[in-house]
């Protein structure tokens, strides 16, 4: 296949598990799309060679001085028109101190996560040390090329010595192989414009991970109020030098923004 003929993603970076373009069937098709578990994100042609994916979700990432906070909604939808699942976990750990928000084709996202974890484990086994975030993001962007997935990668490089601080890093990756490091925050998905407004208003560049959690939750909730493809609660991941802790909040717990959720 000519690289120039690969399916392209929407410019807004919006992707959602189980997203389906209007007019496609729920079981997928043989038209070159990657079927998603429980639904489809089969692309719909919008030109002679162009392929577009109808997608939607809200994912956000924030950089704190001691780590990174990643948050997403919990809704899976068919083209933003039908809620196919209300309990999706769209944040997955891929490294001892790194996690990825997943958005896009379920099958492609799952395969991507497995490969990225395998690359990180192989590096550690061969070299006797963990892959740095710079290396992980470089590999992550390379293996993402051509896939209908648009993740945020957040992680922490542990302190190099007793006097140094851990280094939180946040990257926005795309299906064209692009990699952009964000110094403050980032949002993707169909709810990204609303979420970005909330982040602009509430983000504290001097805050720690715990103070960044309510900001991340508020951003996802704000998007869920206006975006039909986002909702049903929030998944929050705290990524620090000690590891990754993922918290699941249902719609009630998320609205309270501070109520205890289930940690896994």
Q: How far is Cα 60 from Cα 237, in angstroms, rounded to an integer?
A: 11
Looking only at the bridges linking them, the beta strands covering 152-157 and 91-95 are unpaired
* C-alpha dihedral (207, 213, 214, 219), degrees to nearest 10: 100
Q: How far is Cα 26 from Cα 193, in angstroms, rounded to an integer?
A: 28
Q: How far is Cα 129 from Cα 177, in angstroms, rounded to an integer?
A: 26
Choosing from 57, 72, 188, 240, the catalytic residue is 57
Name the strand (E) or helix (H) holding 160: none
Residue 90 near residue 235 (C-beta atoms within 8 A): yes
Active site residue 252: no
Q: How far is Cα 21 from Cα 148, in angstroms, rounded to an integer?
A: 13
> Which is nearest to 232 in space by CA: 223, 245, 241, 240?
223
For residue 94, the tally of other CB atoms under 10 A from its CB is 25
Q: How far is Cα 2 from Cα 213, in angstroms, rounded to an integer?
A: 43
Residue 193 near residue 203 (C-beta atoms within 8 A): no
Residues that are catalytic: 57
């Amino acid at each position: 296949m000519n690289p120039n003929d690969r399916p392209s993603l929407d410019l807004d970076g919006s992707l959602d598990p189980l997203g389906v373009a209007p007019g496609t069937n729920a079981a997928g098709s043989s038209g070159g799309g990657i079927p998603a578990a429980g639904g489809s994100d089969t692309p719909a042609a919008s030109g002679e060679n162009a392929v577009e994916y109808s997608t939607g979700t809200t994912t956000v990432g924030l950089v704190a001085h001691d780590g990174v906070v990643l948050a997403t909604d919990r809704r899976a939808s068919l083209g933003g028109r039908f809620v196919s699942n209300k309990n999706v976990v769209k944040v997955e750990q891929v490294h001892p101190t790194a996690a990825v928000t997943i958005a896009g084709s379920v099958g492609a996202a799952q395969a991507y996560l497995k490969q990225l974890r395998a690359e990180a484990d192989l590096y550690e086994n061969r070299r006797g040390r963990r892959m740095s975030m710079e290396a992980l993001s470089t590999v992550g962007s390379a293996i993402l090329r051509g896939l209908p997935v648009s993740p945020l990668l957040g992680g922490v490089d542990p302190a190099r010595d007793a006097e140094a601080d851990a280094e939180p890093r946040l990257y926005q990756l795309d299906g064209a192989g692009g990699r952009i490091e964000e110094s403050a925050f980032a949002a993707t998905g169909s709810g990204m414009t609303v979420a970005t407004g909330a982040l602009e208003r509430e983000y504290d560049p001097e805050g720690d991970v715990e103070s960044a959690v309510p900001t991340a939750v508020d951003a996802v909730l704000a998007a869920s109020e206006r975006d039909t493809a986002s909702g049903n609660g929030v998944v929050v991941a705290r990524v620090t030098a000690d590891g990754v802790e993922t918290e699941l909040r249902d719609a009630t717990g998320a609205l309270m923004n501070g109520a205890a959720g289930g940690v896994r």
